[in-house]
Amino acid sequence: PSIDADALLVGLNPQQRAAVLHHGGPLLIVAGAGSGKTRVLTHRIAHLLATRQARAGEILAITFTNKAAAEMRERVASLVGPSARMMWVSTFHSACVRILRREAATLGLRQSFSIYDSADSQRLLSLVARELDLDPKKYPPKALQSKISNLKDELVDPDAFAATASGSNDFDQALAQVYTRYQQRLRQANALDFDDLIMTTVNLLQAFPAVAEHYRRRFRHVLVDEYQDTNHAQYVLVRELAGAGTDAQDLPRGELTVVGDADQSIYAFRGASIRNIMEFEADYPDATTILLEQNYRSTQTILSAANAVISKNPGRQAKRLWTDSGSGPKIVAYVADNEHEEARFVAEEIDRLGDSAGVRPGDVAIFYRANAQSRALEEVLIRVGLPYKVVGGTRFYERREIKDAVAYLRAVANPDDDVNLRRILNVPKRGLGDRSEAMVAGHAERERISFGAALERLEDVPGLGTRAVTGLRSFAEMMADLRALADSGAGPAEILSVVLDRSGYLAELRASEDPQDQTRVENLAELHAVASEFEQSDPDGDLADFLERVSLVADSDQIPSDDGGDDEDGQPKPDQGVITLMTLHTAKGLEFPVVFLTGMEDGTFPHMRSLADTDQLAEERRLAYVGLTRARQRLYISRAAVRTAWGVPNEFPPSRFLDDLPEDLIDWRRRESSNDRLRGPGGFLGGRSGYSSGGGYGDRSGSGSGTTPSWKKSSAASRAGEPPRKAPGSGGATFGSATPRPDAAIPTLTVGDKVTHDAYGLGTVVAVEGGGPNAVAKVDFGTEGTKRLLLRYSPVTKL
């Protein structure tokens, strides 16, 4: 079937058209967000096929995610027909796996080689480090793993590294030994780790010219999207595959097309370098560069905001980007008192947009900097019945670390909960092997007792070696201690802290240099926040009550909540799609009609770790640019004045990126957090928390007066620029003065102190956490219940 190739050019602007039609030397397309880079790649591929300049098998297109690859393949197929499905459109890693499977024999690998994931490779590294007698405290496997990963990204093999490491510090010398042996062991196991996939392919192409020639002849067109996020190994791989290097005159040359935007480089922490895009013309002297300047995605308002933020980055090349899609609505900004209120604002607004502007859930994306932030959002969405999915991440209660921690708590609450007990028996690793576990399990079965009960009487279990007995016994003792703690009346938050501490779970994650493990720590902090909120909302609840609450939420987690049950006219809502929740990193390349950018606080976004480092701050700013430019029509920006981690509410200043947004682009719905409301029943200090489902959606408005959504009520006052109101003397429980105390006036409390509180009366301090402005005291007010108070705000006086 002949396809009208010219039809593929219709609607493209002159620069886009030139990029699609370009023929000959390497082509670089650099342009800001939403200017049609990905669209040009797609149309270029379709045009090559339609004009028979290339067959599907001769094209290699690289995208950043598998999802993007599938979309591009389908898009091309819809333009030129199903033969396009033969094309190699894939990520770098998948393309390398395909090449390596084909060429395994050349490398002396079996074709069935395994690919080690991060956990596999860490296990192997621990083994190697132990064989080399390295102290795991000084050389944590996680640290070794991330160093080796970096070396592979830089194409430094063990020999090369050993040569540079000799005579350097102890760590590098040990690392060199580990690296060498680790690669040997991978080889013996017929395995490659994730980073090997790229490095080994590069080695293959460089060491075997015939193989390189084969692929260069085969892939006459190599096209790479998101080129700004390639690392060194990927950069060299592209050169090898395209045969476009200066040293490759005698080999066939493919045509290379790369597209990217230096302002959207957000993976420097994984070795990506904008050098590759900045130096493209130096790397490929006969390169052509095309700039795209028209943005087709966003309104002028959104574009101006994004430009204002990115233009603050030092040393960047300014770009012109314009749109003719009109100015559109202003950016809506909202300051919430805390993360729950922020989530509520987002949900209420999505609901309102559905009624007033026909916005469907599928049109909406909610972004956040860190995975852990999804939890507060998810809970509100579940409660109000808005369907959502978490993309590129697992739903909160399905995350491994959350399941592990909850398994501990379940095993504490119920000594006979065999499934959970066995889940955590060797998590983190404590040298308890499958064999010992099987022996205990077999004994339990024969005696018709639970696994937990068998652990209590190890001397009865036949066949266990002394090592195993020692290990199992110390595990059983730990569990017994944890149960004693629970029996003594400790709340779920405290039990969780002790669990994570005693088990070594947290220490292991903290010692790791893997960014994913830092995310796990954040998620556990978030679970701790869940537990603290539970304690506030349910002062009499114990661990079992807490676990029951968790299972209810976790359960509704499994069920897609788009049953349309509480639709007003009872109509189901077909094809409305679901709200997308994702981190900013995952959002790259995508677009949505409505975008909520949440957690705009210094310390949240930009991330705490970046605040003291100019390079990292510049990367965070690029991430902000990526986030802002995902929006097509409506953009919302919100922040929470107070966010809770590890049970400690922390006050965060506004994100510095907010300061860069031109005032005239913004419609402030609420400009400041009202300290009044911090004190009301809806605030984090109050008896009701976001975790409590209480009376349901909408019942948490500050002073509890009726059904007006809280944000509507507060916005009038704050927009008028009134100073924060003093807490009203009436209208429900209040904590008194709304004004934070100066630091000096925060009372220093210790357990046992007697205090008085304006609203709760006389109480006894039962626990103190944090210090300085973040000091929190847990105070038992007798009949008023036990309250957690952020002392900075709370009118407590020490007696």
Cβ-based neighbours of 210, under 8 Å, separated by 6 or more: none
Q: Measured from the CB of residue 228, what is the shortest distance to ligand ATP in angstroms?
A: 9
Of 227 and 793, nearer to Mg ion (C-beta) is 227
Chain-centre distance for alpha carbon 372: 7
Residue at 704: amino acid letter? G
Residue-by-residue DSSP string for 524-548: HHHHHHHHHHHHHH-TT--HHHHHH
Rule CB under 6 A: say whether 126 interacts with ligand ATP.
no
- Interface segment toward ligand ATP; rule CB under 6 A; list 7-15, 701-709, 732-740, 791-799: 7-15
Rule CB under 6 A: say whether 257 interacts with ligand ATP.
no
Of 147, 297, 630, 778, the catalytic one is 630
**Residue found under tokens 């976001």:** 690
**Residue found under tokens 């968790």:** 550
Contact 641, 653 (CB under 8 A): no
Rule CB under 6 A: say whether 209 interacts with ligand ATP.
no
Of 39 and 677, nearer to ligand ATP (C-beta) is 39
Measure the CA–CA gap between 81 and 162, rounded to whole angstroms.
Answer: 52
Task: Using CB under 6 A, count the residues that bind ligand ATP.
Answer: 19
Q: Measured from the CB of residue 259, what is the shortest distance to ligand ATP in angstroms?
A: 7
Residue of minimal Cβ distance to ligand ATP? 36
Residue numbers in the known binding site for ATP are 31-38
Is 37 one of the annotated active-site residues of the chain?
yes
Of 38 and 689, nearer to Mg ion (C-beta) is 38
DSSP element (H, E) containing 492: helix 492-502
Candidates 15, 35, 38, 633; binder of Mg ion (CB under 5 A) is 38
Rule CB under 5 A: say whether 589 interacts with Mg ion.
yes
Of 297 and 528, nearer to Mg ion (C-beta) is 297
Rule CB under 6 A: say whether 39 interacts with ligand ATP.
yes
Is 138 one of the annotated active-site residues of the chain?
no
Q: How many CB atoms lie within 10 A of CB 547?
A: 19
Q: Measured from the CB of residue 230, what is the shortest distance to Mg ion in angstroms?
A: 14
Phi, psi of 541 (to 5 degrees): -70, 145
Rule CB under 6 A: say whether 589 interacts with ligand ATP.
yes
- Interface segment toward ligand ATP; rule CB under 6 A; list 8-16, 365-373, 449-457, 669-677: 8-16
Is 137 one of the annotated active-site residues of the chain?
no
β-sheet bridge partners, residue 255:
221
Rule CB under 6 A: say whether 16 interacts with ligand ATP.
yes
The interface partner of residue 687, options being Mg ion, ligand ATP, none and the CB cut-off 5 to 8 Å by kind, is none
The interface partner of residue 581, options being ligand ATP, Mg ion, none and the CB cut-off 5 to 8 Å by kind, is none
Is 226 one of the annotated active-site residues of the chain?
yes
Contact 357, 594 (CB under 8 A): no
Of 147 and 297, nearer to ligand ATP (C-beta) is 297
Contact 41, 259 (CB under 8 A): yes
Q: Which long-range contacts (CB under 8 A, 24 or more apart) does 717-720 make?
A: 717/674, 718/335, 718/668, 718/670, 718/671, 718/672, 718/674, 719/668, 719/669, 719/670, 719/671
Q: Measured from the CB of residue 67, what is the shortest distance to ligand ATP in angstroms?
A: 13
Q: Measured from the CB of residue 33, what is the shortest distance to ligand ATP in angstroms?
A: 4
Q: Measured from the CB of residue 587, what is the shortest distance to Mg ion in angstroms?
A: 11
Cβ-based neighbours of 346, under 8 Å, separated by 6 or more: 366, 377, 380, 596, 598, 636, 638
Tokens of 740: 């934070």
Residue-by-residue DSSP string for 32-69: -TTSSHHHHHHHHHHHHHHTTSS-GGGEEEE-SSHHHH
Residues within window 408-437 making contact with Mg ion, judged by CB under 5 A: none
First to last CA, the chain: 89
Of 15, 38, 257, 786, the catalytic one is 38
Rule CB under 6 A: say whether 627 interacts with ligand ATP.
no
Of 17, 37, 677, 788, the catalytic one is 37
Q: Measured from the CB of residue 63, what is the shortest distance to Mg ion in angstroms?
A: 9
Binding mask 549-588 for Mg ion (x = CB under 5 A): ----------------------------------------
Of 226, 620, 672, 676, the catalytic one is 226
Cβ-based neighbours of 57, under 8 Å, separated by 6 or more: 86, 87, 218
Residue numbers in the known binding site are 31-38
Contact 153, 202 (CB under 8 A): no
Residue-by-residue DSSP string for 154-221: TT--HHHHHHHHTTS-HHHHHHHHHHHHHHHHHHHTTEEEHHHHHHHHHHHHHH-HHHHHHHHHH-SE
Candidates 20, 30, 35, 122; binder of ligand ATP (CB under 6 A) is 35
Of 196, 225, 535, 619, the catalytic one is 225
Of 145 and 298, nearer to Mg ion (C-beta) is 298
Residue at 432: amino acid letter? L
Residue of minimal Cβ distance to Mg ion? 38
Candidates 26, 36, 361, 452; binder of ligand ATP (CB under 6 A) is 36
Rule CB under 6 A: say whether 297 interacts with ligand ATP.
yes
Which of 622, 621, 624, 628 lies closest to 595, judged by CA? 628
Rule CB under 6 A: say whether 603 interacts with ligand ATP.
no
Candidates 3, 13, 91, 414; binder of ligand ATP (CB under 6 A) is 13
Q: How many CB atoms lie within 10 A of CB 492?
A: 29
Of 15, 42, 177, 264, the catalytic one is 264
Of 15 and 536, nearer to ligand ATP (C-beta) is 15
Measure the CA–CA gap between 311 and 309, rounded to whole angstroms.
Answer: 6
Annotate 426-439 with three-state secondary structure. Answer: CCCCCCCCHHHHHH
Measure the CA–CA gap between 201 and 183, rounded to whole angstroms.
Answer: 15
Contact 432, 425 (CB under 8 A): yes
Candidates 15, 20, 27, 38; binder of ligand ATP (CB under 6 A) is 38
Rule CB under 6 A: say whether 261 interacts with ligand ATP.
yes
Positions touching Mg ion (CB under 5 A) are 37-38, 589
Positions touching ligand ATP (CB under 6 A) are 11-13, 16, 31, 33-39, 261, 264, 296-297, 589, 591, 629
The residues assigned a catalytic role are 37-38, 225-226, 264, 630
